Structure 1
Amino acid sequence: MTNVQTKKELSKEYKNIKYILTSTMRTRLILTMYESPKNLEELRSELQKPSATILHGLKELESINLIKKVQKQYQLTSNGVILATNMVKLIENWVSLNNNTTFWNNHNLDDIPEEFLKNMHLLKDVTYIKSTTSDLSNAFNRYIKLISDSQELKMIMPIYSENHFKHISELLNKNKLRYLELMVSEEILNSIKLNNSFKKSLLNNKKVKIHCIKQNLKLFLTCSHDFMSLTLFFKDGHYDDSQILIGKSDDARKWGNSIFNYYKEIVDEKQIHRN
């Protein structure tokens, strides 16, 4: 979580942030100049506001060192560029959350590290899929189709699901899946060991690397070269297989892989690797 010193700094800067965001004109000016420097005529044309209103906004931003005038063009200072970059990120985060409000509101987000919650804008293009009363397996079937078309997978698997392991084992046995990196809890690992079929296809398979993590993570994450998917747990602790986010953009895959690598770095030193 955010440390005490950072919280104090955030509180201290709140007034400056509020000053920008509570003015539509100041906000629009910053975002417009973030694209490229503009002269007054270009700003008037783009913002559809009179010169007096724009000049007043420019003067306010210039007084706090966010913009400067170079010859006849107005442009952001270095401080302005940094602020604008974070404003764009904030807007994209908001868009990402709004696009999938139901998914995020219904689930436990505790095991998505804070640094990745700050980068939700990377998921702005994901697809939200939900099972329905007429098709209870819609989300699961879409997931199985995705992994069936993949040659390599990285997975954080927080549940022992024979359905999932059965499909994964089939893909490995048919050589459709050529490499699997799987992260599971000790409890799930022990359950795999008790199933002779899964033990053979997963633990005693050169194509599979298993990490044993101490935490009972509450997120089911899958990454491949062309997609990432995420399912979560309800806030009451039950796993939800009826809703899934699927992302195929570079940003979404980057986000998913970063979370996998985050947990991989803190995985139990007694990780299992069968050759």
Structure 2
Amino acid sequence: MEKTSYLDIYDEFREEIQAIFRSRLLTQMLVALGGGSRSLSDLRDITGSSSQALIPKIRQLESAHYIESERGDYTLSPLGRIVEPEIERLVTLMGVLQRHRDFWIQHDIESIPPVLLKEIGDLYNSDIVRDVEENIFAVYTTFLNVLQNAKWVHAVSSIMSPAHAEAMMGAARQGKPVELVVSADLAGKLTAEPYIDMLKSLADYRDFRIYVSPVSVRLGMTVADGCLSLGFYKRGTDAYDAAVDLISLDPTAIAWGERLFQHYKQRSEPLVYNL
């Protein structure tokens, strides 16, 4: 049997699909009820609308079996509990893409695996840090602050400078667990001067590990217990954009960054070099 296409499904149910997103109040109420039951008064405060405006929309959601009345309050029905998280996911996805629109447009984000691209809404609570004339070391300073305040450090990168390497290895010398996944090209550079002496100096540090990714890495990420720093190559070029990073202190974004690190680490092998 031939699989039904998504376009066919949309054509068949477009009225039901469009109904939710066509109405600000329907969307707001469903998302609000995703956080628990609400009274009519609560919904008025959340939406900024009158009871006269809300009640017909409530009846519409009840008729669609997305919400139910429970002891005078409104709550999601079993069907509503299926639908609402998908609405919330789409809202946050569009939010993060629009909030940092230029950042996503101007950079190559294809090194993010599809499963994590679907969860990119987790990065909504983030900011963009740029090197500007008034602060030409803004991105590097932020990187140093991440290392300084971290209890542990995980990173993925295909680029390195002696200053960045020294900062990472300095964190390891302070007793902080540091793990780094690098591209094959960068691994070759790390086993030569000026980096090899740095690596040899950390030979006795069991919590310092470097892994080599067998696949291309076109991003630079540092994630720690308190912060995520994420950068990319400029789209359509082989130039890493060291002057712009996405930064987040949000635990949800940090968890997203850790999943990205584990994605690369699980596919990598330990770096081998002569002491």
The answer to whether the superposition gives a TM-score over 0.5 is yes
Rounded Cα–Cα distance in structure 2 between residues aligned with 1:105 and 1:81: 33
1:23-172 superposed matches below 5 A: 23-40=23-40, 43=43, 47=47, 49=49, 51=51, 53-70=53-70, 72-172=72-172
Q: How does the TM-score come out when normalised to structure 1? A: 0.83
Rounded Cα–Cα distance in structure 1 between residues aligned with 2:217 and 2:108: 11
Paired residue for 1:225? Answer: 225
What displacement does 1:15 show? Answer: 4.7
Residue identity matched to 2:251: D
Q: Which moved more, 1:256-265 or 1:115-124?
A: 115-124
- Report how many residues are paired: 268
Paired residue for 1:197? Answer: 197
CA contact (8 A) 2:146 2:224 kept: no
Residue identity matched to 1:253: I
Residue identity matched to 2:126: V
CA contact (8 A) 1:153 1:181 kept: yes
Instruction: Structure 2 unaligned segments of length 5 or more: list them.
Output: none
Tell me, yes or no, if structure 1 residue 255 matches structure 2 residue 253: no
Per-residue displacement from partner, 1:159-195 (whole Å, max 9, x unpaired)? 14233113333444xx225322111122211211112
CA contact (8 A) 1:231 1:243 kept: yes
- In structure 2, relative to structure 1, the CA distance for the partners of 1:204 and 1:218 (3 Å cut) is farther
What displacement does 1:257 show? Answer: 0.4
CA contact (8 A) 2:229 2:247 kept: yes
Per-residue displacement from partner, 1:123-180 (whole Å, max 9, x unpaired)? 22223210012432221122123213434211111114233113333444xx225322
Residue identity matched to 1:97: L
Per-residue displacement from partner, 1:34-67 (whole Å, max 9, x unpaired)? 3443455654565454555433222322222212
Rounded Cα–Cα distance in structure 2 between residues aligned with 1:101 and 1:148: 30
Residue identity matched to 1:241: A
Q: How does the TM-score come out when normalised to structure 2? A: 0.83
Rounded Cα–Cα distance in structure 2 between residues aligned with 1:22 and 1:47: 15
Q: Which moved more, 1:14-23 or 1:258-267?
A: 14-23
CA contact (8 A) 1:228 1:252 kept: yes
Rounded Cα–Cα distance in structure 2 between residues aligned with 1:5 and 1:87: 22
What displacement does 1:121 show? Answer: 2.8
Q: Which moved more, 1:146-155 or 1:207-216?
A: 146-155
- In structure 2, relative to structure 1, the CA distance for the partners of 1:194 and 1:28 (3 Å cut) is closer
SS in 2 for 1:194: coil
What displacement does 1:6 show? Answer: 7.9
Rounded Cα–Cα distance in structure 1 between residues aligned with 2:160 and 2:213: 14
Per-residue displacement from partner, 1:91-131 (whole Å, max 9, x unpaired)? 23333333322322221110112222222232222232100
What displacement does 1:88 show? Answer: 2.4
- In structure 2, relative to structure 1, the CA distance for the partners of 1:36 and 1:141 (3 Å cut) is closer
Paired residue for 1:178? Answer: 176
1:3-14 superposed matches below 5 A: 7=6, 11=10
Q: Compute the RMSD of aligned alpha carbons.
A: 2.9
What displacement does 1:210 show? Answer: 1.6
Q: Kindly, what percent of the aligned residue pairs are identical?
A: 19
Instruction: Structure 1 unaligned segments of length 5 or more: list them.
Output: none
